[in-house]
Amino acid sequence: MRVVEIPKSGGGVRPLGIPTVGDRVVQMVAKMHLEPVVEPHFDPDSYGYRPVKSASDAVATTRLQCWRYDWPIDLDITGFFDNLDWELVMKAVRHHIQTTLILLDIERRLQAPVQRQDGSREERRGRFRAR
Protein backbone atom coordinates (compact mmCIF):
# COMPACT_ATOMS: atom_id res chain seq x y z
CA MET A 1 0.00 0.00 0.00
CA ARG A 2 1.16 3.48 -0.80
CA VAL A 3 0.83 6.29 1.76
CA VAL A 4 0.36 9.95 0.87
CA GLU A 5 0.27 12.69 3.51
CA ILE A 6 -2.75 15.00 3.26
CA PRO A 7 -2.57 18.42 4.96
CA LYS A 8 -5.05 18.96 7.83
CA SER A 9 -6.97 22.22 8.06
CA GLY A 10 -5.66 22.85 11.59
CA GLY A 11 -2.06 22.12 10.63
CA GLY A 12 -0.12 18.90 10.42
CA VAL A 13 -0.79 16.02 8.06
CA ARG A 14 -2.91 12.89 7.94
CA PRO A 15 -1.61 9.74 6.25
CA LEU A 16 -3.90 8.45 3.51
CA GLY A 17 -3.44 4.86 2.34
CA ILE A 18 -3.78 4.21 -1.39
CA PRO A 19 -4.30 0.49 -2.00
CA THR A 20 -2.61 -1.31 -4.87
CA VAL A 21 -4.64 -3.35 -7.34
CA GLY A 22 -3.69 -6.48 -5.36
CA ASP A 23 -4.83 -4.81 -2.13
CA ARG A 24 -8.18 -3.96 -3.73
CA VAL A 25 -8.70 -7.55 -4.89
CA VAL A 26 -7.99 -8.91 -1.39
CA GLN A 27 -10.25 -6.24 0.15
CA MET A 28 -13.11 -7.17 -2.17
CA VAL A 29 -12.75 -10.91 -1.54
CA ALA A 30 -12.66 -10.32 2.22
CA LYS A 31 -15.68 -7.99 1.96
CA MET A 32 -17.65 -10.54 -0.08
CA HIS A 33 -17.04 -13.20 2.58
CA LEU A 34 -17.31 -11.08 5.74
CA GLU A 35 -20.11 -8.63 4.97
CA PRO A 36 -23.06 -11.07 4.78
CA VAL A 37 -21.89 -12.78 7.97
CA VAL A 38 -21.13 -9.76 10.18
CA GLU A 39 -23.64 -7.20 8.86
CA PRO A 40 -26.52 -8.52 11.01
CA HIS A 41 -24.41 -7.91 14.16
CA PHE A 42 -24.00 -4.15 13.64
CA ASP A 43 -26.16 -1.55 15.34
CA PRO A 44 -28.85 -0.19 13.00
CA ASP A 45 -27.64 3.37 13.71
CA SER A 46 -24.10 2.57 12.57
CA TYR A 47 -23.46 4.10 9.14
CA GLY A 48 -19.72 3.86 8.41
CA TYR A 49 -18.84 1.55 5.50
CA ARG A 50 -22.25 -0.13 5.52
CA PRO A 51 -24.11 -1.39 2.46
CA VAL A 52 -27.22 0.56 1.49
CA LYS A 53 -26.43 3.27 4.07
CA SER A 54 -25.13 6.72 3.23
CA ALA A 55 -23.89 9.89 4.86
CA SER A 56 -27.33 11.40 4.09
CA ASP A 57 -28.97 8.55 6.03
CA ALA A 58 -26.68 9.27 8.97
CA VAL A 59 -27.54 12.98 8.90
CA ALA A 60 -31.28 12.21 8.76
CA THR A 61 -31.00 9.84 11.73
CA THR A 62 -28.94 12.42 13.64
CA ARG A 63 -31.63 15.06 13.06
CA LEU A 64 -34.32 12.75 14.42
CA GLN A 65 -32.22 11.69 17.41
CA CYS A 66 -31.44 15.32 18.31
CA TRP A 67 -35.13 15.84 19.13
CA ARG A 68 -35.33 12.66 21.24
CA TYR A 69 -32.28 13.10 23.46
CA ASP A 70 -30.92 15.97 25.52
CA TRP A 71 -27.23 15.37 24.84
CA PRO A 72 -25.07 14.47 21.83
CA ILE A 73 -21.85 12.46 21.76
CA ASP A 74 -19.23 13.13 19.10
CA LEU A 75 -16.18 10.89 19.16
CA ASP A 76 -12.92 11.15 17.26
CA ILE A 77 -10.47 8.52 18.40
CA THR A 78 -7.06 9.72 17.24
CA GLY A 79 -4.96 6.99 15.68
CA PHE A 80 -7.59 4.32 16.36
CA PHE A 81 -6.72 2.12 13.38
CA ASP A 82 -2.98 2.64 13.94
CA ASN A 83 -3.27 1.20 17.42
CA LEU A 84 -5.48 -1.84 16.90
CA ASP A 85 -4.27 -5.14 18.32
CA TRP A 86 -4.06 -7.16 15.09
CA GLU A 87 -4.29 -10.44 16.98
CA LEU A 88 -7.68 -9.37 18.34
CA VAL A 89 -8.75 -8.27 14.85
CA MET A 90 -7.75 -11.65 13.42
CA LYS A 91 -9.47 -13.45 16.29
CA ALA A 92 -12.71 -11.63 15.43
CA VAL A 93 -12.27 -12.39 11.72
CA ARG A 94 -11.57 -16.07 12.44
CA HIS A 95 -14.74 -16.21 14.53
CA HIS A 96 -16.74 -15.53 11.35
CA ILE A 97 -14.53 -16.83 8.54
CA GLN A 98 -12.69 -20.15 8.41
CA THR A 99 -11.43 -20.02 4.80
CA THR A 100 -7.65 -20.38 5.16
CA LEU A 101 -6.67 -18.45 2.02
CA ILE A 102 -8.77 -15.44 2.95
CA LEU A 103 -7.37 -15.44 6.49
CA LEU A 104 -3.79 -15.64 5.17
CA ASP A 105 -4.38 -12.80 2.71
CA ILE A 106 -5.86 -10.55 5.41
CA GLU A 107 -2.97 -11.30 7.75
CA ARG A 108 -0.40 -10.61 5.00
CA ARG A 109 -1.99 -7.25 4.23
CA LEU A 110 -1.92 -6.29 7.90
CA GLN A 111 1.80 -7.11 8.06
CA ALA A 112 2.84 -5.60 4.71
CA PRO A 113 4.95 -2.43 4.88
CA VAL A 114 3.64 0.78 3.33
CA GLN A 115 5.44 2.76 0.64
CA ARG A 116 6.02 6.46 1.35
CA GLN A 117 5.87 9.20 -1.30
CA ASP A 118 9.68 9.22 -1.57
CA GLY A 119 9.67 5.48 -2.40
CA SER A 120 10.94 4.31 1.00
CA ARG A 121 9.18 1.46 2.76
CA GLU A 122 7.99 1.68 6.34
CA GLU A 123 6.69 -0.98 8.70
CA ARG A 124 3.17 -0.37 9.93
CA ARG A 125 2.67 0.89 13.48
CA GLY A 126 0.24 -1.82 14.56
CA ARG A 127 1.83 -5.14 15.43
CA PHE A 128 1.12 -8.72 16.20
CA ARG A 129 2.37 -9.57 19.66
CA ALA A 130 5.52 -11.67 19.88
CA ARG A 131 4.65 -15.29 20.50
pLDDT of residue 71: 77
* pLDDT at res. 56: 94
What count of Cα atoms within 13 Å lies in the side-chain half-sphere of residue 112?
Answer: 18
Tell me, what's the pLDDT at 54?
92
Q: What is the pLDDT of residue 5?
A: 87
Q: Outline where the chain has alpha helix (H).
A: 21-38, 55-68, 86-96, 100-111
pLDDT at 37: 92
Tell me, rounded to whole angstroms, the distance of Cα 64 from its chain centroid: 27
Give pLDDT, residue 131: 42
- At residue 130, the pLDDT reads 45
Helix (H) or strand (E) holding 80: none
Given this model, what pLDDT does residue 128 score? 59
How high is the mean pLDDT in each 10-residue block of the chain (131 residues)? 87 85 88 91 88 92 86 74 83 91 87 85 68 42
* Of 86, 93, 98, 101, the residue nearest 26 (C-alpha): 101
Residue 129: what pLDDT?
54
From CA 68, how far away is CA 63, in angstroms rounded?
9
